[in-house]
Structure 1
Amino acid sequence: MKIILTIVTCIILATIITGIRYEIKGVAGNQKRLKKMMAINIVSVFGLLAIALIPNLAFAASAQAAAPAAAQASSGLKYIGAAFSTGLACIGSGVAVGQAGSAAIGAISEDSSIMGKTMIILGLAEGIAIYGLIISIMILVAQ
């Protein structure tokens, strides 16, 4: 297991160092190169997932350890579900607030009497993140 963690750590560090190098170097203009880098990142993520999951599948054959492992997996999946609900809701809320906020600034600059209406729209967009947080709390509290 230590070997797998060492390999995964090296791959993650190599990805981070490569990203910093390309950020400093500036590769924004070359679309083919960016597509190639994105493909490499996607393949490496799926490779890391395979490396992380294969040992767990190999050791799952033990009948005695299967029940506690299933309980740990279900609690772990609960945390992943809560993270996804909060994260995706916040991403959606950020997109909504970004678009509605820029439109609201333009509308207020033309007619300042509609500021209250634009604040309601922005509040509705922020509500998306709150709903995601509520769902994640419900997931974590559920037994």
Structure 2
Amino acid sequence: MSWLIALICLNLLLTLGLGVYLEFRPMTDGKRAQRWWRGTLATNLVVFVGASLGALLLGMQDALAQQAAAPHGEISVGLGLALLGAGIPTGLAAFGAGLAVGPVGAASLAIISEKPEMFGRTLIYLGLAEGIAIYGLVVTILLLGRIA
């Protein structure tokens, strides 16, 4: 099972390395870049999803067995996976809130520069967009309460 985890980590590191490389040396040919990105994205998706499913299916029995056998105070694989799963809502909600706050904030600045009296309304819209992250944090806190 550790080779699957190593495959996932290698895939993530290579993806980050490719992103850094393409940041400093962008592709200029549009058609070739589009074809290359399609293949690269499909390969990354297949490797990552396949390795994640393999780790889940092959490691489930180990995680469940270690859950019962773990000494008091030690974190087992099952508890570690549960804690990771509890943190996912906060990460995804923060990502979604970032996607929402960006355009709303830009539009807010544009409208405030033209009509300063709209400041209160734009704060409400920004608060609604930022509320997404708070919902994710609340879900994570509720899940942590169920785990412990």
Question: Do these two structures clear the TM 0.5 threshold for a shared fold by scoring above it?
Answer: yes
Q: Gapped runs of 5+ residues in structure 2?
A: 70-74
Counterpart of 1:25 in structure 2 is: 25
Letter in 2 for 1:89: A
After TM superposition, give the deviation of residue 137 of structure 1 in Å. 0.8
Give the superposed CA RMSD: 3.2
Please give the residue correspondences for 1:56-135 in structure 2 after superposition, counting only pairs within 5 Å.
56=59, 60=61, 65=65, 68=68, 72=76, 75-135=79-139
Structure-1 separation of matches of 2:143 and 2:23: 38
Contact 1:86 1:133 in 2 (8 A): yes
Q: Gapped runs of 5+ residues in structure 1?
A: none
Contact 2:4 2:52 in 1 (8 A): no
Which deviates more from structure 2 when the two are superposed, residues 126-135 or residues 2-11? 2-11
Contact 1:27 1:34 in 2 (8 A): no
Counterpart of 2:49 in structure 1 is: 46
TM-score (norm 2): 0.71
Identity of aligned residues (%): 36
TM-score (norm 1): 0.73
Rate the CA distance shift 1:19–1:94 in 2: closer, same or farther, 3 A: closer
Q: What is the DSSP-based 3-state SS (H/G/I as helix, E as strand, rest coil) of the residue aligned with 2:85?
A: helix
Structure-2 separation of matches of 1:3 and 1:84: 23
